[in-house]
Amino acid sequence: MGMKDVIHINAGEDLSSRQYHAINVSGTLAANPEAAMGILQNKPNASGRDASALYAGPSFYRAGGAVAAGDLLTVTTSGWFAVSNSGDQIVGRAISAVASGGSGEGVFNFATVGYSIITN
């Protein structure tokens, strides 16, 4: 998938079933884009284990709703990703379409989060 910028933090909980969800600096699931610092790349199975978080570059992600290729993405509850609406903070763009609950591919940048301005 190309170059990835990843940092390592201590998991704050068992994240073994949460690979490709958004996490925060405490190593727990992010509840919103403001709290998110990256996408979990591995499966730490206990608090204190290494959690690899992608903060910029291409990655898989877990969709909390249907996403089309090209959609701008934000973070929702429990670290899921969803299509952003006007006024939402944008953390990435979908490369491929994905159904709700599935894994998709996208390009992300958590270092410089911007806002969505959608005009229809």
pLDDT digits (tens, 9 = 90+) for 54-108: 999 999 999 999 999 999 999 999 999 999 998 889 999 999 999 999 999 999 9
Residue 11 lies in a domain: yes
Count structural domains, the chain.
2
Residue 118 has a pLDDT of 56
pLDDT at 120 over 50: no
Angstrom distance (rounded) from CA 14 to CA 27? 9
- Local confidence band at 2 (pLDDT 50, 70, 90 cut-offs): low
Residues 34 and 73 in one domain: no
Residue 120 lies in a domain: no
The rounded radius of gyration (Å) of the Cα atoms in the chain is: 13
Residues 53 and 70 in one domain: no
Residues 69 and 49 in one domain: no
Domain-terminating residue out of 19, 37, 57? 57
**Maximum alpha-carbon separation in the chain:** 46
Residues 91 and 66 in one domain: yes
pLDDT at 44 over 60: yes
For residue 47, what are the domain limits?
5-57
The mean pLDDT value of the chain amounts to 92
- Local confidence band at 4 (pLDDT 50, 70, 90 cut-offs): confident
Residues 70 and 110 in one domain: yes
Residue 22 lies in a domain: yes
Residues 22 and 64 in one domain: no
For residues 115 and 97, which has the higher predicted lDDT (pLDDT)?
A: 97
Residue 115 has a pLDDT of 62
SS3 78: helix
Tokens of 105: 């591919």
